[in-house]
Amino acid sequence: KAGVTQTPRYLIKTRGQQVTLSCSPISGHRSVSWYQQTPGQGLQFLFEYFSETQRNKGNFPGRFSGRQFSNSRSEMNVSTLELGDSALYLCASSTDRVLGNEQFFGPGTRLTVL
Amino acid sequence: AQSVTQLDSQVPVFEEAPVELRCNYSSSVSVYLFWYVQYPNQGLQLLLKYLSGSTLVESINGFEAEFNKSQTSFHLRKPSVHISDTAEYFCAVSAVNRDDKIIFGKGTRLHILP
């Protein structure tokens, strides 16, 4: 099976712009979670989607949004970018986390905001 | 709600020496516990997990972790480390049979000294 793929791998934007990141989960996985990773804050949960519905949401401002399509692919969008949004954004998929199944992570998208 | 504390942000250890990476959690309900590893410039990979049953769990590359309910700990150990173990290690917790989000610790960076 192909692993979790994320596109693009690297992105450079300027303050005020918006960005859309994409995640393709492992085939058959219905749960997709997004995380922001920074050196100072570690791994912070953004949101989780399961069967096109947002199941959980982290403590991020409304500028951060996401969605999941019927084929389980997911996108996250960040509007009005700020310098502090520079981070590695990780996507993870799972069959169903509720049963303790592991999450499979993609390589991440590294976003730099100038 | 659950929380995870990784007490050490960095752990230096000589090659072939033993290592312990500490993880403590808090939760009012039963939990699943995970250790994930992140090698440089990669996403996270599951190292091992505790769901139920035997409190000692092992990985294929020599790591082990013991679930201690009374001390609410899930420390990761390896009797002899190798240079290839250089990575960041994340402890994570999620509630059993609930769709609450997974909580990750801030990570422990393992430095292997020659």
- pLDDT tens across B70-111, in order? 999 999 999 999 999 999 999 999 888 777 788 899 999 999
Q: Are B46 and B36 in contact (CB under 8 A)?
A: yes
Confidence of residue B33 (pLDDT cuts 50, 70, 90): very high
Query: Is A112 touching B (CB cutoff 8 A)?
Result: no
Task: Please give the span between the terminal C-alpha atoms of chain B, in angstroms, as a whole number.
Answer: 41
Strand partners, A72: none
pLDDT in tens, A43-72: 899 999 999 999 889 999 999 999 999 999
Among B7, B44, B47, B89, pick the best mutation site for testing chain A contact (most A Cβ within 10 A).
B44
